[in-house]
Amino acid sequence: TCVDIDAEKIERLQSGEIPIVEAGLDDVVADAVAAGRLRFVTDPRQAAAQAEIVFLCVPTPQDEDGSADLSYIEAAAGEIASSLQVGAIVVNKSTVPVGSVRVVEQVLQRPDVEVVSNPEFLREGTAVFDFLHPDRVVIGGDDLDAANTVAGLYTPLDTEMLVTDAASAETIKYAANGFLAMKISFVNAVAAMCEAVGADVADVVEGIGSDHRIGRAFLNPGPGWGGSCFPKDSRALVSIAADHGYDFSMMRGVIEVNDEQRIRMVGKVAQAVGREIVGEQPLAGVSIGALGLTFKAGTDDLRESPSLAILEQLADAGAAITAYDPTAVGELDRIQQHRLARLQLAESALDVAHGADVVLILTEWHEFKDLDMADVASAMRGKAIVDTRNLLDPLAVKSAGLTYDGVGRR
Ligand code: UGA
C-alpha cells in the first residue's frame, strides 16, 4: 500500500498515470496493480494499521543552515504512531542525518515497534533498474531480528547484504553520495587542468579509470553535479560533521569546486563570443540557445539543476536565452521560480539555434547528439558551440563551420 497526503498525486496514480519520468516504472506499477499487489491511498493511519513493515520515504529537504529538515519524517512518524500494529517495523528509507532512527523512535513512543535504517542508492531515471540490480543492500538497527526481517524482503535480488548499526547505515548513505560527488568534482578540476596544460580529459579519464582502484564510473566531466541529492547531501555531510565537532574540509572543497565549475561554464560562453564577465551586463545583446534544463538526462527533475544555475548567471549578465528540454517543456512556471522569468522556451532542439550567437549544451539528452550541425549552423546568427557535457563530436561541429569548446577537451 502506497500512501501520499497529496490527493491529486494519488488520484493520478490510481488512474494509472505515473507523475514522474522514470524508465520502466509504468510497467512495474501496471503489473502490480493488475495483480492486486499494489494500491494507492491517502490515509496513512489506515495503511499503517494493516502493515507489518512501514517504509518512511518522505523528502528531507535542506534547511536554511545546510542541515536536513526532518519535519516531514517527524510528521509522518507522528501520524502513524498510534495506528501501528504491535511488533511492526518502521524503516527509514528517506536520506536522514545520523541519529534519525532515534528521532523516529522518540516521535513514535512505541517500545513495541522497531525502527530500522535502510538507505536507498538508486539514481533518478534508472531507478527501476538500480532497485532490481543493487550493488548492495544496507540495513542498520539495534534489533537483529527486525533488521533480518527487512533484509528478507530483498532476498530475491541476490545481492550483497550489509547489516549494521543504525548510525553506520545512516553514515553510509551520506558517505556514498559525498564520495560520488567528490569523484565528479575531481574530474571537473582535472578537466580544468587539462585545458591549462593542453591535455585531453577523455584520455586522462580512460588512463586513470582503468585502474580498478579508481574505477571508470562517475568520472564524466560536466557543468557540475546537481539534482535533488548530491547538493543537499554534500552540505548535510558538512553540517552533520560540524555538529559533532569535525570540520569536513575535503567535502567543503568538493562543493567549492562544483560552484566554480558553473562559473567556469559561464566564462566559456562569454569567451566564445569574445566577451569577459566583468562590469554591468557584460553579455548584453548576446543571444544564447540552450539545450537541456533538467539536472541530467532521463528525468524531468529540475531541482538544483546546474543548467538553471548557469542560465541564471547568463541572464543576470544580460544575455537573451531560448531553451529547449524534452521533458521540462511544460514546466515554465517552475522554471520561472528560478528567477528565469525572461527565459523563452523553444519547441524543438533545432529551434533554439535560430538567431543564436552561441548554442550551449547543458544536459546530455541523446537527441542533442543527433542534431545535424549543418542545420544548426545555418539557423544561427553566430557560430559558437559550447558543450558542457562533451556530448558532440568536435570534428563534426567544426566541419559545419562552427567553433567548439567542451570541458577539458583538446
Ligand atoms: C544520486 C546517486 O547516484 C544515487 O546513488 C543516490 O541514491 C541518489 O543520488 C540519492 O541520494 O537519492 P541522482 O541524484 O539520481 O543519484 O543522480 P546521479 O546520476 O548520481 O547524478 C548526479 C549529478 O552528477 C548529475 O548532475 C549528473 O549530471 C552529475 N554527473 C554524474 C556528472 O557530472 N558526471 C558523472 O560522471 C556522473
What are residue 321's phi and psi, to 5 degrees? Answer: -125, 130
Residue nearest to atom 23 of ligand 1 (CA): 225
- Supply the residues annotated as catalytic: 229
pLDDT of 82? 98
**Adjacent-strand bridge partners of 340:** none
Q: How far is the CA of 252 from the centre of ligand 1 (A)?
A: 18
Pocket residues for ligand 1 (CB within 6 Å)?
95, 120-124, 177, 180, 184, 218-220, 222, 225-227, 229-230, 295-296
Q: How far is the CA of 182 from the centre of ligand 1 (A)?
A: 11
- Measured between alpha carbons, how far is 339 from 227 in angstroms, rounded to an integer? 18
- E strand or H helix at 90, and its extent? strand 89-92
CA 124 to centroid of ligand 1, rounded, Å:
8
Residue 251 to residue 283: CA distance in whole angstroms: 33
Q: Which residues contact 293 (CB under 8 A, 6 or more apart)?
A: 302, 305, 307, 308, 311, 323, 325, 328, 331, 335, 362, 363
The CA-CA-CA angle for residues 239, 242, 247, to 5°, reads 115
Q: To the nearest whole percent, how much of the chain has pLDDT over 90?
A: 89
* Positions of the chain with pLDDT lower than 70, given as ranges: 329-339
pLDDT tens digit sequence for 305-346? 999 999 999 999 999 999 999 997 666 666 666 667 778 889
- Phi, psi dihedrals of residue 43, rounded to the nearest 5°: -100, 105
% of the chain exceeding 70 in pLDDT? 97
pLDDT value, residue 97: 87
Residues 61-103: tens digit of each pLDDT:
888 887 888 999 999 999 999 999 999 999 999 988 888 999 9
The x, y and z cell numbers of residue 141, run together, are 538497527
Name the residue type at position 8.
E
Residue 184 CA to ligand 1 center (angstroms) comes to 9
Q: How far is the CA of 230 from the centre of ligand 1 (A)?
A: 7
Rg (CA), the chain: 23
What is the pTM assigned to this prediction? 0.94
Point out the ligand 1 atom lying closest to the alpha carbon of residue 296.
28
- What letter would DSSP give residue 231? H
- Ligand 1 pocket check: which of 117, 180, 204, 259 to mutate, most ligand atoms within 8 Å of Cβ? 180
Which ligand 1 atom is at minimum distance from the Cα of 127? 15
Residue located via cell numbers 536565452: 321
Whose CA is closest to atom 37 on ligand 1? 218
Mutate to test the pocket of ligand 1, among 230, 232, 294, 295 (most ligand atoms within 8 A of CB): 230
Measure 123 CA to ligand 1 centroid, in angstroms.
6
Residue nearest atom 18 in ligand 1 by C-alpha distance:
123
Tell the residue nearest (CA) to atom 11 of ligand 1: 229
Question: Which of 229, 265, 293, 308 maximizes ligand 1 atoms within 8 Å of its Cβ, making it the mutation to test the pocket?
Answer: 229
The DSSP result for 93-162, as a single string, is -S---TTHHHHHHHHHT-TTSEEEE----PPTTSHHHHHHS-SEEEEE-S-HHHHHHHHHHTGGG--EEE
